Amino acid sequence: MLQFKLVLLGDSSVGKSSIVHRFVKDSFDEFRESTIGAAFLSQTIKIEDKGSQQEVVIKFEIWDTAGQERYKSLAPMYYRNANAALVVYDVTQQDSLAKAQGWVNELKTKVGEDDLVICLVGNKLDLCSGEEENSSKPKAVESSEAEGYASEQGLLFHEVSAKTGEGVRQVFQSIGEKLYESKKHELAASKGRHGVGETGNVQLQRPSTNDATSCCS
Amino acid sequence: MTVLKATMDLHESYVDDRRERISEPLCMPPTAAEPTTSINLAQTLFQPSEFDESLEEQLAQSISSCDRRHPTVSTEIPNIFPHEHDKNFLILTSAGKPIYAMKDSDSTIGYMGVINTIMSYFRLKEGQDLRCIENDDVRFAFLDREPIVLVAYSARGETSNELFSQLDFLHSYLLSSLSERKLSKIFSKRQNFDLRNFLESTDFENLNEICSLLCERFYPDTLLGALRSLSMRKSHRAQLHEAMSQQLNKEAYLPRGMLLYGLIVAPDNKLCSVLRPKGHTLHTTDLHLLFCLIFHRFQNLDDSQELWVPICFPKFNANGFLYGYIKFLSKGNSILVLISAQKDAFFNLKSFADHLIKDITSSGLLEEIHKSKGFKISDIPAPLVHHFIYKSKKHVQYVMPELEFHSDINPKEAMELERKFMNYYQQIHNSVIRDDGLSFNKSCLNFIKWESDADEPSEEPIAMLGLGWITPKFELYLLCNNGVEDKHVIFESAKKIISWCRKHESRLFVNEGAIF
């Protein structure tokens, strides 16, 4: 089994926790409390090796971080060793895309790993589906705009609804496939050794500097 | 009006009583507001045999003043408190900018301006801080914690000290979220900073939750300054502590000093077990904050996720953050909390937790925690007692029988019931505690009575009796069934409760915990 570390980033209340919950538990909670700090979850998926047609099991270890400004300085701890990052915005909030772009820039400059897979995800698609006319909100971020930005930056791009579940699984599926493709050769080389998933099974063990730093300094 | 009547009756009966005992060396200032007959005990230790004689004598006096009507005993106690007690909490900056109001209205901002002016006036003219304003039944309490000012307004009859500790709790919450260092940094740059812009929506939700706990629920934790503990068999608790110690010893991934504290907490904020370094304990207020946060914010979580939460424990170190690893041991049930000072200790603590949980699951201990249902008042041979709270001072913990609700009670009724209990206990507590929070004497025993005739012939007349008893070792607050008037019987019951609690001490309280 391969293990990959994945981190969710994005503005507060764009639905990061809801996406994770949909992926891990396949359920949705209308009144989810804001995340404080970060939550750690895991989930496995199966993908198909395109060459050998064999099934490969991938385990995601997921850091669902708080979107609130106050916890921003803690974020490096979560994305530092990540193999993939899900940068989420709310399709009904233009601001949230700008915040997402900020995260993408930060990841590109701060994460050394060239293979880091970044996926831009627009959430709350259900709000502008138009099926319920009354509750329908205008779509503030056009798909073409976000998609254009994503391809420019070399990101994966998806629009989803954590509420209905639309597109959520595909996000993780495509990340898994992309990670598998890029790691396949490394994996083959290290096959003899134990710990195929070493790349993903990272321990956060760098020495801590001190305990007095506040999370919001 | 029932309640008004009740209060008036109270005053009359107690004034008489005081006159009778005027020659006694009273150690409390006799204020008219205290509806109590007071018996002060010279003993500093609980010694039942010596106790009886002197107390019996004093009891006889106070009992003779009670007129004996035909007692009607009821299992349900009446609610004699008005539903709409007026109470509010306001938080503002030292510059007078509003931060938070429990009950917000259009005039709140105006009030805050007035408050700020009055406080400044006192500081300038009198050279000291304004702490309290009393007017008949209404009391304002002011807590100045530069750069934050907190104000409580209440018509519910709390002591100043109780209001101060509630304000301190709210202030502690702000510190736990921001830390003192951050707060002073913000305000040293700009005194007129609007803190509302810096607080997150979660902060306001948490403040709402804490206010609701303090005002609407049966939450004696801040009143007593103690934690509620989970009762479980002595041997099970010992095994649990043993398992924690053992795991710590064999955990290679956990460098020394990385884990500061470990706690297992059961629902309703009940402490189950503690893992701690020798000579260190966490402050009760810090733990109250932690428990509030956990059971409010994370109540709909399950065991599939683990949390890593930065939190400042203001009484431990108001300037720094600690990090809490939090995991539910099963949905909606007990939780494991591991605390570290290192922000990247998550995976080390996770490994510790995984092993510990595996261990206590396979040995059946986890099942024992979940099975523990507390005890009922009927488990104790204490006739005519409806409910009680027993606090062990040594442990800084308290226990009480589980509230027994009808199965078909709706949430609103349940909340009313909780508030009724809280009101009774507040008044019993206030009858043995001075306004500044100290007890009248090292040992002190008080009966308190609420009386009222029934408004309707079909209704039961109200004759509620409560007992507050404080010694250096324990505090007992006891509420009788409606209609009970025999203080002898109640005193005997109180003694039985105390013996029972002491006999089962190691079952009821978390003693040392696992120490490393």
The partner residue sitting opposite B320, judged by closest CB among A29, A36, A212, is A212
Q: Are B27 and B34 in contact (CB under 8 A)?
A: no
Is A72 near chain B, with CB under 8 Å?
no
A200-214, B112-126, B134-148 — which is least confidently predicted? A200-214
Instruction: Specify whether B435 is located in the same domain as B366.
Output: no
Q: Which amino acid, one-letter code, is at B239?
A: Q
**Alpha carbons B92 and B96: distance in angstroms, whole number:** 6
In A73-142, which ranges are continuous DSSP H helix? 75-79, 94-110
The count of residues in chain A is: 217
Contacts of B496 (CB under 8 A, 6+ apart): B380, B381, B382
The residue from B164, B184, B214 where one domain ends is: B214
Q: Is residue B225 part of a domain?
A: no
Return the residue in B183, B202, B208 with the most chain A beta carbons within 10 A, the one to mutate for interface testing. B202
Instruction: Specify whether B369 is located in the same domain as B394.
Output: no
Instruction: Specify whether B351 is located in the same domain as B408.
Output: no
pLDDT of residue A191: 60
Pairing of strands B87-93, B98-101: antiparallel
pLDDT of residue A113: 67
Q: Are B336 and B357 in contact (CB under 8 A)?
A: yes
pLDDT of residue B396: 95
* Half-sphere exposure in the Cβ direction for B109 (13 Å, CA): 3
pLDDT of residue B28: 36
Residue of A133 and A137 predicted with greater confidence: A137
**Alpha carbons B143 and B139: distance in angstroms, whole number:** 13
**Alpha carbons A32 and A55: distance in angstroms, whole number:** 35
Q: How many Cβ pairs closer than 8 A exist between chain A and B?
A: 93
Contacts of A205 (CB under 8 A, 6+ apart): B344, B347, B348
CA distance readout (Å), B387 to B38, B219, B266, B372, B481: 21, 15, 21, 19, 8
The residue from B373, B396, B431 where one domain ends is: B373
Instruction: Tell me the pLDDT tens digit for each residue of B15-39.
Output: 333 333 333 332 333 333 334 343 4
Instruction: Specify whether B333 is located in the same domain as B430.
Output: no
Pairing of strands A55-65, A38-48: antiparallel
pLDDT of residue B435: 83
Instruction: Specify whether B340 is located in the same domain as B387.
Output: no
Instruction: Specify whether B355 is located in the same domain as B380.
Output: no
Instruction: Specify whether B288 is located in the same domain as B382.
Output: no
Instruction: Tell me the pLDDT tens digit for each residue of B290-344.
Output: 998 887 776 667 778 899 999 999 999 999 999 999 998 876 578 999 999 999 9
Q: Is residue B515 part of a domain?
A: no
pLDDT of residue A135: 59
B257: closest chain A residue by CA: A211
Instruction: Tell me the pLDDT tens digit for each residue of B384-406.
Output: 999 999 999 999 999 999 887 77
Instruction: Specify whether B369 is located in the same domain as B236.
Output: yes
Q: Is residue B420 part of a domain?
A: yes
Share of chain B above pLDDT 90, in %: 49
The partner residue sitting opposite B343, judged by closest CB among A70, A74, A203, is A74
Q: Is residue B222 part of a domain?
A: no
Fold of the domain spanning A2-199: Rossmann fold (3.40.50)
Buried b (16+ CB within 10 A) or exposed e, A29-56: eeeebbbbbbbbbebebebeeeeeeeeb
Q: Which residues of B touch A205 (CB under 8 A)?
A: 344, 347-348
The residue from B373, B408, B430 where one domain ends is: B373
Tally of structural domains, chain B: 3
B322: closest chain A residue by CA: A211
Residue B26: which domain range? 2-81+375-508
Q: Are B516 and B278 in contact (CB under 8 A)?
A: yes
Q: Is residue B258 part of a domain?
A: yes
Return the residue in B180, B197, B200, B259 with the most chain A beta carbons within 10 A, the one to mutate for interface testing. B200
Q: Are A36 and A215 in contact (CB under 8 A)?
A: no
Q: Is residue B223 part of a domain?
A: no
pLDDT of residue A200: 45
Q: Is residue B287 part of a domain?
A: yes
Instruction: Tell me the pLDDT tens digit for each residue of B195-225.
Output: 998 998 889 999 999 999 999 889 999 999 9
Q: Are B443 and B42 in contact (CB under 8 A)?
A: yes
Structure tokens at B304: 């599939």
Instruction: Specify whether B441 is located in the same domain as B382.
Output: yes
Query: Which CATH number is B116's domain given?
Result: 3.30.450.70
Instruction: Tell me the pLDDT tens digit for each residue of B459-496.
Output: 778 889 999 999 999 999 999 998 888 999 999 999 99
Q: Is residue B221 part of a domain?
A: no
Return the residue in B343, B347, B349 with the most chain A beta carbons within 10 A, the one to mutate for interface testing. B343
Q: Is the ipTM of this complex over 0.85?
A: no
pLDDT of residue B332: 59
**Alpha carbons B215 and B84: distance in angstroms, whole number:** 11
**Alpha carbons A206 and A40: distance in angstroms, whole number:** 19
Is B350 near chain A, with CB under 8 Å?
yes
Q: How do the domains of chain A map onto residue ranges? A: 2-199
Instruction: Specify whether B242 is located in the same domain as B369.
Output: yes
Instruction: Specify whether B394 is located in the same domain as B418.
Output: yes
A28, pLDDT greater than 50: yes
Instruction: Specify whether B400 is located in the same domain as B311.
Output: no
Q: What is the arrangement of strands in the sheet containing B132-135, beginning at the earlier edge strand? A: B98-101, B87-93, B148-154, B138-145, B132-135
